Amino acid sequence: MSALRWALRSVAWILTIIGLLAVGLAALLALPVTEPPELKSIRAGAGAIDRSAMPDLSRFQARDGTSLAYRLYPAIGRSTQTVAILIHGSAGHSTTMNEIAKRLAAENLTVVAADMRGHGDSGTRGDIGYYGQLDDDLADLTAELRAHYPQARFALLGFSSGGGFALRVAAGRLSTAFDHLVLLSPYLGYDAPSTRSPSASARWASPDIPRVIALTILRRLHLECCEALPVIAFAVAPGSAKYVTGQYSFRLLTNFGPPRDLVAAFHRLKMPTTIIAGGADELMYPDKYADIVAGLAPAIEVKIVPGLGHMDMLHAPAALDAISAAFKEPPHADRR
């Protein structure tokens, strides 16, 4: 009888703990996302991008049947040896890559600027269907392009959060898909040495930390509940929801970002890689990029363009020159 009583008490304690955990998680999930005030340097930088001669959107069908958008910039000579895929930053879309794309196309690269799912004209703004869907989308886009350019080499450029995403996929499941990687002012994680803390920088994002913690716990328990909830808001202009993506769901935030282990990711890269950043970046510590990749062999080249801020890298002539040079002269031999 005592054994039965002990078993019943144990079950009661377990149920109590589970109940308290459920209540605690529910409380964390209930806390709303707070929108930060507009970061004017980002808006000004986006407004300075020349949108002239921007091609209309093209589309491809992803494996789930969704029609996703991109802009195609044919090589000026109509015959190209390289196809470059450009990935925009957080809250952005393909329009922001227009000046980079035009410059590279003028130098005889075929350029594709993607609207990543959850942004621009691709899918549901601020959300995706599951973690890893962006990786699948990029694989599908690359396969579509390879069918049209079977002899071309493929390069990948990612800006800011798109740079962290580009690093993760290029060091992971798409490691053999690209022959060259360019990371433009890449966001490498909130705890990366290159990322300024909110207290030491302009505030671009306001994460809902309690909700992120709760959803992370649920994912680790293999209970993928409520991952469509918004967990971060960006410092976009009021009333700009028609043009930009002001919030991300948990699954979009965790998918559109850098690898957890930066050192391991950089070691796994199999292609020549260049990091380019502005010397006056208000969101990053540009001098720290060299520290992160120090000691790698072959070395990863780091170029700092003096005097340029975060968004300047998308349109300033000196930034475009640095990007062009990175594509003209791959910095090092194949890392294989």
For residue 181, the cross-strand partners are 156, 273
Task: Please state at what angle helix 209-220 crosses helix 2-30, rounded to 10 degrees.
Answer: 140
Local structure of 20: helix, strand or coil = helix
Q: Looking at the predicted structure, is the pLDDT value of residue 27 above 90?
A: no
Cβ–Cβ under 8 Å, residues 189 and 258: yes
Mean pLDDT check: name the lowest of 23-37, 155-169, 299-313: 23-37
What is the DSSP secondary-structure string of 97-136? GHHHHHHHHHTT-EEEEE--TTBTTBSSTT--SSTTHHHH
Write out the H or E segment, with its range, that includes residue 302.
strand 301-305
d(CA 247, CA 34): 10
**Average pLDDT of the residues in 18-41:** 64
The pLDDT value given to residue 20: 39
Q: Looking at the predicted structure, is the pLDDT value of residue 66 above 80?
A: yes
For residue 11, the one-letter residue type is V
Q: Looking at the predicted structure, is the pLDDT value of residue 143 above 70?
A: yes
Q: In whole numbers, what is the pLDDT of the chain averaged over residues?
A: 90
Mean pLDDT check: name the lowest of 33-47, 88-102, 193-207: 193-207
**pLDDT category of residue 160 using cuts at 50, 70 and 90:** very high
Q: Rounded to two decimals, what is the model's pTM?
A: 0.90
Burial 171-183 (b: 16+ CB within 10 A, else e): beebeebbbbbbb
The pLDDT value given to residue 200: 56
**Average pLDDT of the residues in 184-190:** 97
The pLDDT value given to residue 2: 66
The pLDDT value given to residue 239: 87
**Average pLDDT of the residues in 117-137:** 97
The pLDDT value given to residue 172: 95
Q: Looking at the predicted structure, is the pLDDT value of residue 159 above 70?
A: yes
The residue among 165 and 14 whose pLDDT is bigger is 165
The pLDDT value given to residue 330: 56
Could you tell me the domains of the chain? 40-328 (3.40.50.1820)
What CA–CA distances, in Å, run from 5 to 10, 12, 15, 18, 193?
Answer: 9, 11, 15, 20, 55
In the numeric block, which tokens belong to residue 136?
């699948």
Tell me the per-residue pLDDT of 202-237, one tens digit each, with 9 for 90 and over.
789 999 999 999 999 999 898 888 999 999 999 999
Tell me the per-residue pLDDT of 240-258, one tens digit each, with 9 for 90 and over.
888 899 999 999 999 999 9
The pLDDT value given to residue 3: 62
Q: Looking at the predicted structure, is the pLDDT value of residue 72 above 90?
A: yes
The pLDDT value given to residue 332: 53
Sign of the CA dihedral with 188 first, then 233, 174, and 151 last: negative
Give the up-direction half-sphere exposure of residue 131: CA atoms within 13 A in the CB hemisphere. Answer: 15
Residues in Cβ contact with 106 at an 8 Å cutoff, skipping those fewer than 6 apart:
76
The radius of gyration of the chain's CA atoms, rounded to the nearest angstrom, is 22
Cβ–Cβ under 8 Å, residues 71 and 287: no
